[in-house]
Amino acid sequence: MSFRISSMEEYREVYRKSVEQPEAFWAEIAGSFLWKKKWDRVLDWNFKEPDIRWFSGGTLNITENCLDRHLETRADQPAIIWEPNDPEEHHRVLTYRQLHQKVCLFANVLKNNGAKKGDRICIYMPMVPELAIAVLACARIGAVHSVVFGGFSAQSIADRIQDAQCELVITADGGFRGNKEVPLKNVIDDALVQCPSVRRVIVLTRNRTPVSMIKGRDVWWEDEIKKAETLGMLDCPAEEMDAEDMLFILYTSGSTGKPKGVVHTCGGYMVYTGYTFKTVFQYEPGDVHFCTADIGWITGHSYIVYGPLSQGATTLIFEGVPTWPDAGRFWDVVDKFKVNVLYTAPTAIRSLMQSGLEYVEGHDLSSLKVLGSVGEPINQEAWHWYHEHIGKKRCPVVDTWWQTETGGILISPIAGVTPAKPSYATLPLPGVQPVLVDEKGEEIEGNGVSGNLCIRFPWPGMLRTTYGDHERCRTNYFAAYDNLYFTGDGCLRDEDGYYRITGRVDDVINVSGHRIGTAEVENAINMHSDVIESAVVGFPHDIKGQGIYAFVISEQHLNDSDLTAKDIAMTVSRIIGPIARPDKIQFVPGLPKTRSGKIMRRILRKIAEGDLVNLGDTSTLLDPSVVDEIRNGRIA
Ligand code: 7RM
């Protein structure tokens, strides 16, 4: 089976086959999954429209692959280990049998509340096992889940619910994050004022904070479960889905003000996440896999829920944060559950690195076999710290590059096989054909070159459309260069053919591994009544990777600029969520604009990053003197 790659020779061989005979390659991998009906055609595609179909004619249900098919072989093996926010609270373990039962029961709850195949369901929950259960229950009945990260604001949730016309919302009373509580149901109530499509809200009890339950709309998770149990609705047949039926929508930021609903479909996403999970991490039966992402992001969808479960793995869900009660929390968890694979983000590594080695010492990390990194470029220093102090130089580090749109990992070392190079995502996985192009769209061949990263050929996990707006999908990803998928990332390919992702080349900022559009932040800032205009850029940040720097023209700051800045930051927090709160707000008399009125962000980026000398050509500016004033007022 091509799942096992144990040497570089084997990798080269499998890679060659995957490029020469992609259909045969993917058909063999797809054959290791459970289909209700086999596909007629492996792949139909064109990147023009785009129209991409994998495994057409095939039918399946991803939850049968994640649950039912394991019952014969590993019913009593842990599927989910859950570690709560508070180390004093008891952890929970759900075996495959128990998870199967809970998913079926909750799937019946969804049906009892009127949900059916094709309906969109918004999930806004804390990191508890019930979040994974809710996701899988949607997939069980063929409803389309749209998980919204618990840190997003009411306005952001409302935008996403309206865009997808969700009929149901699944949430909790509240959640815990470190020493804070988050009022999830309250936020949902605020969001739903703008969402007439929602007719039912199912509320899980988590922190027992008082909430308001609206008659006829809101019901308790626990009551609904009891009802279904009383009715004996324990079984729930898995809905038969076409390979290209929608599995989920996940919103992600782009260069415009409005997040896009990235659409993934059942068959290809299942095959791709299962294959890459097994291949990249070299997962072996019985291993405990700990991905620290939130299920609200693609990393959680693919490498906490679907990838691991489709492969019969034990996946660890951690509700808390890396630094509470102290910076040893991850290492407590690794030690407590003898974690074998740890998959986290550079921002977490840098923050723990800064806290000092005393938090690592005293924990037994000898169970670790593989370390993973995802979400943003990992700097050499963080890479070495991770490798040396966490992996004790025994564990391969896999720097995995991918995107919400790609569904799964595209460029990454294969653990224990690919020789690593710190800060390099290294080589494409089998089936992935990267291309570097220049500004004109000409392919840049050979090694020791850099350009914009594109992909030449489809892979099963790629996005199919952006919800409700296919044209937007085309213009965003398939129109920049003919017959190529454009990633939005800059990239270099070194003398060995190794890839190193250098960061976004569009107006997207990557803050702690979270994508935020500059236009989104500007829109939020501009909502503040004192603001006339704003421009937002990213700047290098020691912990977060990138921070948010806002240049703001305002009328009121002259009275008290500190207060005005705080108000503006608060507005952004309210409109988008705390993750988008600017780190620096500088009041400026004007913005550097061309004669045609375009803001020259290049100049602002230079100033934000502290390069006040090499601002480049400013001769096309309408008013070059504004640059000096901005430069003089820079916030260090
Ligand atoms: C998985 C995820 C995608 C963007 C992507 C890159 C950046 C992700 C790496 C990386 C360098 C990596 N999805 N990115 N992984 N950059 N090395 N290993 O993060 O949609 O939220 O973000 O993140 O810029 O385009 S995402």
Q: What is the CATH number of the domain that holds 573?
A: 3.30.300.30
Task: Tell me if 276 CB under 6 Å of ligand 1.
Answer: no
Task: Tell me if 299 CB under 6 Å of ligand 1.
Answer: yes
Q: Read off the pTM.
A: 0.96
Q: Which residues contact 173 (CB under 8 A, 6 or more apart)?
A: 184, 185, 203, 204, 205, 206, 207, 208, 209, 211
For residue 231, being part of any structural domain is answered with yes
Task: Tell me if 401 CB under 6 Å of ligand 1.
Answer: yes
404 CA distance to ligand 1 middle (Å): 8
375 CA distance to ligand 1 middle (Å): 4
**CA dist., res. 478 & res. 574, Å (int):** 34
Task: Tell me if 377 CB under 6 Å of ligand 1.
Answer: yes
What is the average per-residue pLDDT within 155-178?
A: 98
Cβ neighbourhood burial of 431 (10 Å; 0-12, 13-18, 19+): buried
What's the confidence (pLDDT) of residue 623? 85
What's the confidence (pLDDT) of residue 559? 81
Task: Tell me if 488 CB under 6 Å of ligand 1.
Answer: yes
Per DSSP, the residues of 517-559 read: EHHHHHHHHHTSTTEEEEEEEEEEETTTEEEEEEEEEESSTTT
How confident is the model over 183-203, as pLDDT tens digits?
A: 999 999 999 999 999 999 999
pLDDT at 557 over 90: no
Q: Which residues contact 203 (CB under 8 A, 6 or more apart)?
A: 171, 172, 173, 185, 211, 213, 218, 219, 220, 221
- Ligand 1 atom closest to 514 (CA): 21
Q: Which residues contact 466 (CB under 8 A, 6 or more apart)?
A: 260, 261, 262, 263, 472, 473, 476
For residue 494, being part of any structural domain is answered with no
For residue 440, being part of any structural domain is answered with yes
Element (H, E) at 472: helix 470-473
Task: Tell me if 489 CB under 6 Å of ligand 1.
Answer: yes
Residue type, 182: V
516 CA distance to ligand 1 middle (Å): 12
Q: Which residues contact 276 (CB under 8 A, 6 or more apart)?
A: 302, 307, 408, 409, 429, 461
Task: Tell me if 294 CB under 6 Å of ligand 1.
Answer: no
pLDDT at 2 over 70: no
477 CA distance to ligand 1 middle (Å): 15
- pLDDT band of 1, cuts 50, 70, 90: very low
Per DSSP, the residues of 175-232 read: EEETTEEE-HHHHHHHHHTT-TT--EEEEE-SS-------TTTEEEHHHHHHHHHHTT
400 CA distance to ligand 1 middle (Å): 8
Q: How many structural domains is the chain composed of?
A: 2
What's the confidence (pLDDT) of residue 476? 96
- Please tell me whether residues 53 and 156 are part of one structural domain: yes
Angle at 70 between CA 64 and CA 74, to 5 degrees: 160
**CA dist., res. 605 & res. 409, Å (int):** 30
pLDDT at 209 over 80: yes
Average pLDDT, the chain: 96
- Please tell me whether residues 434 and 530 are part of one structural domain: no
**CA dist., res. 130 & res. 135, Å (int):** 8
What's the confidence (pLDDT) of residue 4? 82
- pLDDT band of 38, cuts 50, 70, 90: very high
Mutate to test the pocket of ligand 1, among 297, 510, 512 (most ligand atoms within 8 A of CB): 510
Atom 12 in ligand 1: residue holding the nearest Cα: 401
CA distance readout (Å), 60 to 20, 89, 96, 142, 271: 27, 38, 19, 10, 11
For residue 279, being part of any structural domain is answered with yes
Q: Burial letters for 48-82: b for 16+ Cβ neighbours within 10 Å, e otherwise?
A: eebebbbbeebbbbbbbbbbbbbeeebeebbbbbb
Q: What range does the domain containing 303 cover?
A: 8-321+400-450
- Please tell me whether residues 109 and 40 are part of one structural domain: yes
425 CA distance to ligand 1 middle (Å): 11
513 CA distance to ligand 1 middle (Å): 7
What is the average per-residue pLDDT within 506-533?
A: 94
**CA dist., res. 500 & res. 398, Å (int):** 13
402 CA distance to ligand 1 middle (Å): 5
Per DSSP, the residues of 16-46 read: HHHHHSHHHHHHHHHTTS--SB--SEEEEEE
For residue 299, being part of any structural domain is answered with yes
Task: Residue 157: name the closest of 132, 193, 115, 107 by CA.
Answer: 193
What is the average per-residue pLDDT within 156-172?
A: 98
For residue 305, being part of any structural domain is answered with yes
Mutate to test the pocket of ligand 1, among 405, 411, 504, 515 (most ligand atoms within 8 A of CB): 515
What's the confidence (pLDDT) of residue 9? 97
What is the average per-residue pLDDT within 392-421?
A: 98
CATH number of the CATH domain containing 185:
3.40.50.12780
Task: Tell me if 512 CB under 6 Å of ligand 1.
Answer: no
- pLDDT band of 596, cuts 50, 70, 90: confident
Of 599 and 384, the structure prediction assigns the larger pLDDT to 384
Task: Tell me if 463 CB under 6 Å of ligand 1.
Answer: no
Atom 17 in ligand 1: residue holding the nearest Cα: 377
Helices (H), 6-153: 8-20, 22-30, 62-66, 71-74, 96-112, 129-141
For residue 491, being part of any structural domain is answered with no
What is the average per-residue pLDDT within 157-161?
A: 98
Q: Which residues contact 613 (CB under 8 A, 6 or more apart)?
A: none
- Please tell me whether residues 80 and 200 are part of one structural domain: yes
What is the average per-residue pLDDT within 594-613?
A: 89
**CA dist., res. 135 & res. 251, Å (int):** 15
Give me the residues paired with residue 242 across strands. 59
How confident is the model over 232-248, as pLDDT tens digits?
A: 999 999 999 999 999 99
CA distance readout (Å), 23 to 29, 37, 151: 10, 18, 40
What's the confidence (pLDDT) of residue 236? 98
For residue 444, being part of any structural domain is answered with yes
The percentage of the chain sitting over the pLDDT mark of 90, rounded to a whole number, equals 92
- Please tell me whether residues 517 and 428 are part of one structural domain: no
pLDDT at 597 over 60: yes
405 CA distance to ligand 1 middle (Å): 10
13 CA distance to ligand 1 middle (Å): 27
